[in-house]
């Protein structure tokens, strides 16, 4: 019985190690980026693509409630979960936070993609409209109709 337990544990570990690189590789964008800021556009059918968007913070010490900033994507009116979120630094931003949506098999036909940008209200540049301060409110909505052919 003990040999069976050791063999089972060893097999489980080997399977886990064998699949680890596959798991790590999933946090990469696929194909070209479709940029919602460009509006309606054509794209090759059945070709991998991704959509990413988010926020860049120049000085994180002056930004309240960074965790309340978010980006959401709808495809043809239905929400789509982000495949991963990437946080990094660049020469232009102290913190860059992007939400990635991968479409590894591409699409065919015509589809509408709508991006929703949420920021915490602060009573100033982002009005609270009766909400408590730092409540996430939608500050920008972008839609693009993409014809995949």
pLDDT in tens, 61-116: 766 667 889 999 999 999 999 999 999 988 888 889 999 999 999 999 999 999 99
The pLDDT value given to residue 39:
97
Complete domains list, the chain, with CATH: 31-148 (2.60.40)
Residues in the chain: 149
Q: Rounded to 10 degrees, what is the CA torsion of 30, 33, 36, 37? A: 150
pLDDT digits (tens, 9 = 90+) for 3-26: 433 433 333 333 343 444 444 457
pLDDT at residue 64, rounded to an integer:
62
Q: What is the pLDDT of residue 25?
A: 57
Query: Could you tell me the strand order of the sheet in which 32-33 lies?
Result: 32-33, 49-57, 95-103, 84-88
Confidence at 58, pLDDT banded by 50, 70, 90: confident
């Amino acid at each position: 019985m003990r040999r069976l337990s050791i063999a089972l544990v060893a097999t489980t570990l080997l399977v886990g190690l064998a699949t680890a690189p596959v798991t790590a590789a999933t946090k990469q964008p696929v194909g070209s980026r479709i940029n919602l800021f460009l509006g309606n556009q054509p794209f090759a059918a059945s070709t991998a693509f991704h959509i990413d968007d988010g926020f860049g913070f120049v000085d994180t010490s002056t930004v309240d409630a960074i965790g309340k900033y978010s980006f959401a994507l709808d495809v043809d009116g239905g929400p789509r979960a982000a495949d991963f979120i990437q946080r990094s630094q660049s020469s232009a931003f102290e913190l860059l936070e992007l939400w990635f949506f991968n479409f590894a098999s591409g699409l065919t036909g015509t589809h509408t993609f709508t991006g929703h940008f949420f920021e915490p209200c602060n009573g100033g540049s982002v009005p609270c409209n009766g909400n408590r301060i730092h409540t996430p409110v939608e500050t920008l909505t972008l839609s693009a109709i993409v014809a995949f052919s």
